[in-house]
Amino acid sequence: MTPSPPSAAGSVAASPAVPQSGPDSPAVQRIFASLAELADDASVPRNIRRGAQSARDELAKPRVPLDVRIASAVYVLDDLANDPNLPTHGRTAIWSIISNLESLQ
């Protein structure tokens, strides 16, 4: 009987995390806004802007599980962060977005 209360407490602790990382959560909406800002930033190269839009599209796919969408977006953004033509502020923005995405998993 002792294992039952910790599992009940564990399910209570895990329950609030699900709505916070849902597709309509404020955290996901902030990531969408950050990606849109990067995609509209004229001071970064065109391929980076297209990549930011691609990561945003990956994150917005409706029938794909959230963890797969996050992994796909992180993969795209990681490739962009390694571009030698990327300005410092763009790289910092990409790292921040990747960090925010990984905190959702």
pLDDT digits (tens, 9 = 90+) for 11-70: 444 433 343 455 567 888 999 999 999 999 999 999 999 999 999 999 998 899 989 999
What pLDDT is attached to residue 3?
A: 53
Q: Are 40 and 25 within 8 A, CB to CB? A: no
DSSP-assigned letter for residue 64: S
**pLDDT given for residue 28 in this prediction:** 87
Map out the domains of the chain as residue ranges.
50-105
3-state secondary structure of 70: helix
pTM score, whole prediction = 0.75
Q: Which fold has domain 50-105?
A: de novo design (two linked rop proteins) (1.20.1440)
